[in-house]
Structure 1
Amino acid sequence: MANLRAGLIGLGMMGRHHARVLRELPGVDLVAVADADGDPHGAAGPLPVLHGVEELIAAGIDVAVCAVPTAMHEPIGLALADAGVHTLVEKPVAHSVVAGERLVEAFARRGLVGAVGHIERYNPALQALRTRIADGQVGEVFQIATRRQGPFPARIADVGVVKDLATHDIDLTSWLAQSRYVAVTAQTTTRSGRPHEDMVAVTGRLENGTITNHLVNWLSPMKERVTIVTGSKGAFVADTLTADLTFHGNGVIDTEWDSVANFRGVSEGDVTRFAIPKPEPLRVEHEAFRDAVLGLRDHTVSLAEGLETLRTAEWVLGSAERTGADLPV
């Protein structure tokens, strides 16, 4: 069978990595790239840099990766859907829920694979964590907490930290727990002089009763990507920067002091860091997209899932607006 003919639109900070992986991916040929602003990172290689999505479609592509700024996801995605091109759209799926709904409908109507690049799902530490949660190794899940902090990335201009970064945490949390958000409360602030929020603190609750907490910002000099899942048997800590997964087991301390024994607490037990394979998440994401297009298996993050994450992100922003007022003194 002939290789899939792939096109890439957007040659910025993320697009350059998509170009590299597409060139390495078995069963896929990168045949066309486009960016109205040129190729600042030299990602095009020998390919001419086309100016827009129409030229990309005219190159005769089967699949596309959309790595343009968020505001352009909807028009470019709709053009690709109308042309019958299976598409992987970088996250967030769109700039608004209404735009996301139009994308979901367009790809569904044509029977096309539409996927969202929520790359954290493909991180080895989180993949292993999800398997171990499903196996019952942490017991009943009580809480999922994440910290995603670091300096401002030059690639972002048109959305704030909630839609750019916190969408990672919203998506991975629902995916790990296999449950959707039913409540969120948030606080945001803007400290860098840019038009969008650059720091958020979110608490939430999932439909299955799991409580959540997310600290996300672009204002920290150190980079941190940590997910902690606490359950009845202990806690998993996943560091997605290093793809390390550690389990802190509950210890058991017997006591004859009745008033203390009646308190059902836990103590520190054994700590285990797992040795796990560590493939590149972006490559695994592309393999999943390729396999879905070929009809082999579908491990993609669907447009509908991306839309649910975006809807939750907008709830977060709405909550921050409603709770922004100070308490009376």
Structure 2
Amino acid sequence: MVLRAGLLGLGVMGSNHARVLASLQGVDFVGVYDPSPTVPERVHDRPVVRELDQLLELGIDYAVVAAPTTFHLEMGTRLAEAGIHALIEKPVASTAEDSRTLRDLFAAKGLIGGVGHIERYNPALQAARERIAQGMLGEIYQIATRRQGPFPGRIADVGVIKDLATHDIDLTAWVAQQDYVSVNARTAHRSGREHEDMVLAVGTLSGGTITSHVVNWLTPFKERVTIITGENGVLVADTLTADLTYYENGRIQVAWDPGEFRGVSEGNMTRFALDRKEPMLAEHEAFRDSVLAGEARGIVTFADGTRVVETAEQLALDGFTRRL
């Protein structure tokens, strides 16, 4: 069966989705909806229409929503009412309330809803999760992430928490296979924009793992690092290069007095060879297969995405400075 797919939004992310859709096996990419007069009339030899109804009239089984976050609820609702499955770029909606609305609507209509938390498909993080499940690290003590870089011109409707930190919220819970039970944060507004552009966050997961996240739009270089510390050593995932490195605790016996602090020593280091499939292609393949199967298979569901937005809102709520 060949699925017919449409795209809503042709910005930076939308252009990447269009590229993948145009060559995705088992999918007929039929067209794009974008009302902007600056976008071309055809993309990858597919028509660009200016009204959503025009795209729906082309007959589509599912749609990818890459429009600004403020339109996610409206567009997702239109698609659900038309019986169309949807892969929506993260965050799933602007607010937790809107996210829950979409989650419940798609569930009630028996439709597949996925969220574009693309980091789950990064080879380094997928390999890290697999090795954690195999027991390589033993008990997970801490997960620390750093996601820093210059301000992206594509973002105007949300702050750094919902744009970038949602990646770290999702990947941290997913890699550890634990839920957040508490979070605290501090935010800053340094660039004169309405929304926060820096956040430092800490949290605790359901299995006792503690987390920390450094996220901002004000660093003149890009950094995307996840450091997972366990009882046997540390996994370091660089998602810019899709590299995964294991730093093993030393096996040399160290004598200590019962009352002294017990630490670790430096051991072997291993850099793993990974199959580096493009994350966006893997994301699209998983969503296509879920639609064909009629059930979620390896995707970030609307339920997952809603929990991420709920956690992000708690960070934003907590992210103020108390004056002593």
Taking structure 2 as the reference length, the TM-score comes to: 0.96
Quickly say closer, same or farther: Cα 1:100–1:147, change in 2 above 3 A.
Answer: same
Structure 2 residues without counterparts, runs of 5 or longer = none
Q: CA deviation at 1:38?
A: 4.1
- Aligned match of 1:264 in 246, 254, 262? 262
Provide the residue aligned with 2:86 in structure 1: 87
Provide the residue aligned with 1:320 in structure 2: 319
Q: Paired residues, what number?
A: 323
SS of equivalent to 1:49: strand
Query: Equivalents in 1 of 2:157, 2:246: separation in Å?
Result: 38
Q: How does 1:1-329 map to 2 (within 5 A)?
A: 1=1, 3-38=2-37, 40=39, 44-256=43-255, 258=257, 262-295=260-293, 298-321=297-320, 324-327=321-324
Quickly say closer, same or farther: Cα 1:257–1:293, change in 2 above 3 A.
Answer: closer
Q: CA deviation at 1:254?
A: 2.9
Query: Equivalents in 2 of 1:248, 1:41: separation in Å?
Result: 49
Q: Deviations over 1:7-29 (max 9, x none)?
A: 00100000000000001110001
Q: Identity over aligned residues, as a percent?
A: 57
SS of equivalent to 1:48: strand
Q: CA deviation at 1:51?
A: 1.4
Q: Deviations over 1:18-44 (max 9, x none)?
A: 000001110001101011114548872
SS of equivalent to 2:319: helix
Q: Deviations over 1:165-201 (max 9, x none)?
A: 0000000000011111111110000111111000000
Assess if the C-alpha contact under 8 Å between 1:6 and 1:61 holds in 2: yes
Assess if the C-alpha contact under 8 Å between 1:11 and 1:38 holds in 2: no
Q: CA deviation at 1:54?
A: 1.9
Deviation above 2 Å: which 4+ runs of structure 1?
A: 38-43, 45-48, 252-260
Residue type matched to 1:276 in 2? L
Residue type matched to 1:326 in 2? R
Structure 1 residues without counterparts, runs of 5 or longer = none
Residue type matched to 2:273 in 1? A
Q: Deviations over 1:287-327 (max 9, x none)?
A: 00000000076111000100000000000001113xx1222
Quickly say closer, same or farther: Cα 1:150–1:42, change in 2 above 3 A.
Answer: farther
Residue range with higher mean Cα deviation, 246-255 or 90-99 = 246-255
Assess if the C-alpha contact under 8 Å between 1:11 and 1:39 holds in 2: no
Quickly say closer, same or farther: Cα 1:267–1:35, change in 2 above 3 A.
Answer: same
Taking structure 1 as the reference length, the TM-score comes to: 0.95
Query: Equivalents in 1 of 2:274, 2:38: separation in Å?
Result: 36
Quickly say closer, same or farther: Cα 1:184–1:294, change in 2 above 3 A.
Answer: same
Residue range with higher mean Cα deviation, 32-41 or 203-212 = 32-41
Quickly say closer, same or farther: Cα 1:208–1:256, change in 2 above 3 A.
Answer: closer
Residue type matched to 1:162 in 2? I
Residue type matched to 1:44 in 2? V
Query: Equivalents in 1 of 2:299, 2:136: separation in Å?
Result: 25
